[in-house]
Amino acid sequence: MPYIGASLADGVEPMGRPKPKATNIADALGKKSDRVVEITAQPLSPNTPAPEVVPNPKNAATEFLDRATHAAMSKVTKGLSPAALAEAYLDWLVHLATSPGKQMELSEKAFRKWLRLSRYAMTCAAPGNDAASCIEPLPQDRRFQGDAWQKWPYNLIYQSFLLNQQWWHNATSGVRGVTKQHENVMDFATRQLLDVFSPSNYLLTNPEVQAKTREEGGQNLVRGFKTWLDDLERQQNGKPAAGAEAFRPGHEVAATPGKVVFRNKLIELIQYSPTTDKVRPEPILIVPSWIMKYYILDLSQRNSMVKYLVDQGYTVFMISWHNPDAKDRDLGMDDYRKLGVMDAICAVQAAVPGNKIHGVGYCLGGTLLAIAAAAIGRDGDDPFASLSYFASQIDFTEPGELQLFINDSQLTFLEDMMWEQGYLDTNQMSGAFQMIGSADLIWSKIFHSYLMGEPSNMFDLMAWNADGTRLPFRMHSEYLRSLYLNNELTEGHFKVDGRPISVTDIHVPVFSVGTVKDHVAPWPSVYKMHLYLDTDLTFVLASGGHNAGIVSEPGHKHRSYQIANAKHDDRYVDPESWAAQTPTKDGSWWVEWASWLGERSGASVAPPSMGKSLADAPGTYIFQK
């Protein structure tokens, strides 16, 4: 799942639940209230302590029972709220049941599809006839592209499946009165359910698997069964995927030389050793996402962004996040801002005094960097020379299919799941992500690994993806409610140190990257920075997805990008028009970014001295399990 934002001053308890607010004296005195509140007759000044709230033991017991029940349910549903799904289903069902016109339309569509399929079946069953397909798969659907699928009876099987899928899409969309989010949930959930019965998933209905089985005498199924047993055993014991052990941090990955020069309870700050005689005076501080280990930006030597920057003559600092556990349950968003970004900025300024910083944020790290930069800009002391954001959002009104899982019901269920243990671990957050990427994460694996007996080869990015981290209860709850649910950052309601911040207070040049196939931070949502930032903004749309589109080093085959700069006073161009009018370039966007940084950096100087070494890179936090 995504990841939290109001502070205790905004009426949020450490448990992440809103405090009840009294609307009058009678309510405050507790008409059948579950809380006892001491009331003062005098108006409260800003420095007067808040009235003491005494929990009702009976209420605490019932709340404990509710939370424990939801936590137990979450182990079966992988964090998805049954209530949220039921709410969407009932909204759709009741409106459809009272819409006779829609029912007539669906009946007519079903009859027409039956006629088309019947005509197709009669034609393609005759020898030598090459019948035109009833329906073509969507461009991204590659399940039925092989020649074997065009032969009877498999052509009839997959055509009937696609027609059925199309009918259900018509049934779950366009029902008047259904809440838009509920419509999207129904369409999405129905598509996921139908995909379970895709003919490509089963031996008896997949001609490609049958051909492979005949060719190998069933050995593909034997290998697939062994792979399945190994995956099951690893999942049960909390082990990483097979082959991940060949990519060890500090050896095969995260191997760029450097030193840990600062450490607190939340971060280690790594300063990388220079590889050039001269460096740009402005250091680079990278704030990665804390949902995974930082070394996606320092993978193998061939595709390490850190190594690329160091070789370009930059002094690079990287935050490595502590992997939280139960004792960190009350760490909040403000802790991540202060102990993470602000402490890192102070450490960089101490190591390279007198120079502005190029701030870089990736995914959630970019959102946190924007929050910190807006707060700094509000208070008038700006340490940045520029800011770069990779697949990062500041507006969350259109966060893609993740929005399907963001509502009060789902977040309450998720909070109760985290409440039991104090954090959210990788397995618990996998439910939503696996559903969103089911074509690649579930069904493609079943086909290739278990049916065809061709397990995928482990590589650096896949090994990094298996090296997950946990998320503190309070931080994750705040992030989801303040940003994803309430969109407080761009609406001017997000508070830092008790006062609202605005991203319009960010005035340094910005370089923002979105990726074409991003399901976590869809590029039109990333592009919305054009609407809110009052500064020059260079936007890049890179090929690939949320991770692979960022790890796009020079020389990487089949990579392309679009890039354009917008001045702060230019007229707004919508994302569709921008994509249509911006030319596509082959190659890596890293080269453009390095040039952009160079234009905003001073003349090269001798490298700064390395800070006091607390450990060799990649440090100690990276090894926390």
Report the length, in residues, of the chain: 625
Cα separation, 484 vs 291, in Å, equals 16
Cα separation, 361 vs 443, in Å, equals 32
Q: What is the DSSP letter of 429?
A: T
Cα separation, 356 vs 346, in Å, equals 12
Is residue 134 part of the annotated active site? The answer reads no
Number of H helices, E strands in the chain: 22, 17
First to last CA, the chain: 19
Q: How many CB atoms are closer than 10 A to CB 76?
A: 8
Q: Which two tokens stand for residue 385?
A: 């020379």
Cα separation, 396 vs 400, in Å, equals 9
Cα separation, 324 vs 277, in Å, equals 39
Cα separation, 30 vs 434, in Å, equals 45
Q: How far from the centroid of its chain's Cα atoms is residue 8's Cα?
A: 26
Q: Which two tokens stand for residue 508?
A: 């340094």
Q: Identify any residues that bridge with 360 across adjacent strands, giving them in sequence order.
A: 286, 388
Out of 124, 134, 346, 363, the active site residue is: 363
Half-sphere exposure of 540 (CA within 13 A, CB side): 28
Q: Which of 492, 600, 587 is nearest to 538 (CA)?
A: 600
Q: Which residues contact 556 (CB under 8 A, 6 or more apart)?
A: 303, 588
Cis peptide bond upstream of 57, omega within 30:
no
Q: Which of 318, 340, 311 is nearest to 328 (CA)?
A: 340
DSSP-derived pairing of the beta strands 510-515 and 537-542: parallel
Cα separation, 65 vs 62, in Å, equals 5
Q: Which two tokens stand for residue 403?
A: 């929005």
Contact 317, 270 (CB under 8 A): yes
Cα separation, 140 vs 105, in Å, equals 28
Which residues are known catalytic residues? 363
